[in-house]
A = this chain, B = another copy of it.
Amino acid sequence: MATTEDVVAFLGPKASYTHQATLTRFPDSKYTVKPQTTIEDIFAAVQNGTASHGVVPFENSSNGSVVFTLDLFADLNGRYPDILVCGEVYLPVHHCLLGQATPTKVMPTPNQPRVRPQHDIKHIKQLYSHPQAWGQCKIFLSAYLKGVERQDVSSTSKAAELVAHDTKGTCAAISSKIAADLNGLDVLAEGIEDNEGNTTRFFVIRRRDALFDGTNAQVGEGTREEHCKTLVSFTVDHGAPGALADCLATFKRHDLNLTSINTRPSGEAAWHYVFFVELVGRKLPDGEGGAVNDALLELTTVAKGWRWLGSWVDELRA
């Protein structure tokens, strides 16, 4: 029987890209993977301990950051104080147009998109998908489905589920091939993403553990610094000139290589921000020193507030 130690929350329903990312790290022979309706539900499940881990989409190579996830890490209402990133998964994302094929099979003759539909799609009157997917399939959609009504839903697999219940056969989903199989849908077109290398990066999250507090139990002792990454959020005193630069200089002083920076509204006042930096390196247990630990100590003197959001093994370099 599964204890919560073995329960992993992901953005469902089954066959979502998050589900596929989850299975690469948490095979269902060993773990109970539990679908959730929203990304926030995943944070909540890990925070309240009903799941030991969660898997959340963080950024896409074409679309950039998933702002919903960033805002949950910013945690303006203090609901998820114990959430830490402890791993990442890169998943190539190849979208399909799923629906119900009609007997006619007329091939349109376009030139721009990378792929053409495998079936006639003139009968499609309504499209369902996750908002992120529209931005990843712009060229195909504007070539073949211009002006067709679009309906945002909570995940690409939810979109496939809804289309499977469409009795008129005029709805289609942008979703994965796996979702077609699971829901008994036809693949009307395959590989419809604009960018062949379209990849989504997911974070594995866990709850801060009282026993290991201040450490990062997920990164093995022997892992080299340059094969790890760390996420930190901070706020600055917007009245103090140079406050943001001072915070960034802290990382520079300890030779920490920043790989990305994000900015989100802080919620406390208009035009105040929460900054997120991702850097190469990892936090060691408190008292063991290390560049990340030293930089965070110094950050206390220049940032209004900051939070270590986890260290993990860099899957692109490890």
Contact = CB atoms under 8 A, between A and B. Distances in A.
Given A64-B265, A242-B257, 14 more contacts: A64-B263, A64-B264, A131-B131, A199-B270, A242-B255, A244-B261, A245-B248, A245-B251, A245-B252, A245-B257, A249-B252, A261-B262, A262-B263, A271-B316
Total copies of the chain: 2
22 contacts: A61-B271, A62-B265, A64-B67, A64-B263, A150-B151, A150-B152, A151-B151, A241-B257, A242-B252, A242-B255, A242-B257, A242-B258, A244-B257, A244-B259, A245-B248, A245-B251, A245-B256, A245-B258, A248-B252, A260-B263, A261-B262, A271-B316
Nearest to A272: B61
Contacts of A280: 241
Contact of A249 (B249, B262, B275): B249
B265 A63 contact: yes
Contacts of A316: 271
Nearest to A71: B64
Complex A-B, nearest 7 residue pairs according to Cβ-Cβ distance, in ascending order = A61-B270, A245-B252, A241-B257, A244-B258, A261-B261, A64-B265, A248-B248
A273 interface: yes
A241 B258 CA distance: 8
A69 interface: no
A197 B270 contact: yes
Contacts of A60: 265
A149 interface: yes
Interface residues of A, number: 43
A65 B152 contact: no
Contacts of A270: 61, 197, 199
A261 B258 contact: no
Interface string A33-77: 000000000000000000000000000111111010000000000
Contacts of A263: 64-65, 260-262
Contacts of A275: 261
Interface string A284-312: 00000000000000000000000000000
A253 to B, nearest CB: 10
Interface string A224-267: 00000000000000100110110011011001111111111101
A60 B273 CA distance: 12
